[in-house]
Amino acid sequence: MNTPVEGFSKLSKAEKIDWIVTHYTQDSVASKKLLERYWNEDPKIQQVHDEFIENTLSNYYLPFAVAPNFLINGKFHVIPMVIEESSVVAAASKAAKFWLDRGGFSSEILGAEKVGQVHFMYHGSEIKLQQFFAEVHPKLLKSVASITKNMEKRGGGINGIELRNLNDKIAGYHQLHCTFETLDAMGANFINSCLEQFAKTLTSEAKIYQDFTSDESQIEVVMSILSNYVPDCLVKAEVSCPVSELGEAGISGQEFAQKIVRAIEIAKAEPHRAVTHNKGVMNGVDAVVLATGNDFRAIEAGVHAYAAKGGHYSSLTHAKIEDGIFTFWIELPLAIGTVGGLTSLHPMVKLTLEILGHPSAKELMQIVAVAGLAQNFAALRSLVTTGIQKGHMKMHLMNMLNQMGATENEKQQLVAYFKDHTVTNASVKEALEKIQSQ
């Protein structure tokens, strides 16, 4: 019977498990064994996992895979990916092999600036506020000197603080729009610490500013927080080759290139298609972001906002044919890090970064963008030739057989059978039953 609980967070891990399985599962013994089965056998490693978040009961596993043969800026990479969706890793690997024979991927950083804002209300004279900001600006920077000291030693820090008037959106609404360089750190804690100190300095200095009236001195800070929209923390990834090198599956290179360009034009024009188109990009992006211990929710939010920067939601990828050359590229805003957070705590994240050659944040941005571009190319390649279901359902076949309880021998027979037959849930079930009946 479901019931509320007092002080759940104060219970021991064992007590939490006992309470959950007793009140919220049908078979408490089996449920408890299941949770315990996914604990790490090393108690020290399990404790590290337990302390990532609150109320931890067990670990939730996702497949950790690699996609080989990525040639990026002349350097070979094997890209770790964490994802549950069938065919994603296979598609990325296939795209990597395709472009390996055509010069590989190129990538470059277009910007690395991150954003944070102090949102506040002020209803007085705008001229006075601007004069106050000019006077308080150096004090804002001085107030965070202890926070920025180490970051500045490494070449990062605060790039700028801008006063913005947004009265046209909300009466009295203003903000300090702040930009940062956080180097190899994603920088969320650094940015938020600076912003909260800015807020304190802003309000305290306003109270003693001689040109403010008593009402004007009461600046009300609403919140201070980084933004996950980072259009100036941008990376570009690209592939290109002569159109003549693109022919396959009975389609000429010119026709294949035109089909890809047209498919992207549709994704740029039609939001329903653009969402699915970009979801394919994020299959690759999120898988690498997860494997490297970065925040895929923040990346998703920022990327999709960027996809709508022109006023409507559109394709993240682009393609063109010029002078017989096909070019396919992507630009993505990516605020990610290779130090801090889980990068020094999660054993699998450490291994991922080792496999990637201990990249800097900028190098990782390029790898992530390439993974997204490769994934999108693989999807478009299937869509404009054989169709998406043929490859996807073949990869999904093993999941279906496992759900149906097929033996290893039955799996081998059916994998061979469906090399030449269409995979559907009904067809797989029928074929399995036929084997079992014999």
Catalytic-role residue among 128, 137, 279, 304: 279
Residue 279 tokens read as 């979801």
pLDDT exceeds 90 at position 413: no
Task: Quick: pLDDT tens for 6-15.
Answer: 999 999 999 9
pLDDT of residue 390: 56
pLDDT band at 248 (very low <50, low <70, confident <90, very high): confident
d(Cα 242, Cα 236) in Å, to the nearest integer?
20
Least confident of 212-216, 314-318, 407-411: 407-411
Q: Quick one: what percent of the chain has pLDDT higher than 70?
A: 97
Q: Give the other-Cβ count within 10 Å of 424's Cβ.
A: 13
Query: Does the annotation mark 277 as catalytic?
Result: no
pLDDT exceeds 80 at position 422: no
Q: Give the other-Cβ count within 10 Å of 323's Cβ.
A: 6
Which residues have CB under 8 Å from 283's CB, separation 6+?
83, 85, 88, 375
Q: Are 122 and 216 in contact (CB under 8 A)?
A: yes
d(Cα 9, Cα 57) in Å, to the nearest integer?
11
Catalytic-role residue among 18, 49, 85, 410: 85
pLDDT of residue 396: 67
Domain spans, the chain: 8-50, 66-109+237-337+350-386, 114-227, 391-437
Beta sheet of 220-227, edge-to-edge order:
157-165, 173-181, 114-121, 220-227
pLDDT of residue 423: 78
pLDDT of residue 412: 82
pLDDT of residue 181: 97
Q: Are 116 and 232 in contact (CB under 8 A)?
A: no
Q: Quick one: what percent of the chain has pLDDT higher than 90?
A: 84
d(Cα 33, Cα 180) in Å, to the nearest integer?
48
Helix, strand, coil content of the chain in percent (nearest 5): 50, 20, 30
Q: Domain 66-109+237-337+350-386, CATH 3.30.70.100 — does that match?
A: no
Catalytic-role residue among 196, 205, 286, 295: 295
pLDDT exceeds 60 at position 319: yes
pLDDT of residue 310: 95
Q: Are 335 and 186 in contact (CB under 8 A)?
A: yes
* Class level of CATH domain 114-227: alpha beta
The residue behind tokens 């996807």 is 392
pLDDT exceeds 60 at position 45: yes
Strand partners, 240: 327
Mean pLDDT of 128-133: 98
Query: Does the annotation mark 279 as catalytic?
Result: yes
pLDDT of residue 86: 84
d(Cα 120, Cα 199) in Å, to the nearest integer?
9
Q: Are 343 and 255 in contact (CB under 8 A)?
A: no
d(Cα 177, Cα 227) in Å, to the nearest integer?
10
Nearest Cα to 267, choosing from 328, 318, 322?
Answer: 318
Q: Mean pLDDT score of the chain, rounded to an integer?
A: 94
pLDDT of residue 168: 97
Residue 362 tokens read as 């900028």
Mean pLDDT of 294-300: 97
pLDDT band at 193 (very low <50, low <70, confident <90, very high): very high
pLDDT of residue 1: 56
Q: Are 191 and 337 in contact (CB under 8 A)?
A: no
Between 436 and 287, whose confidence is greater? 287
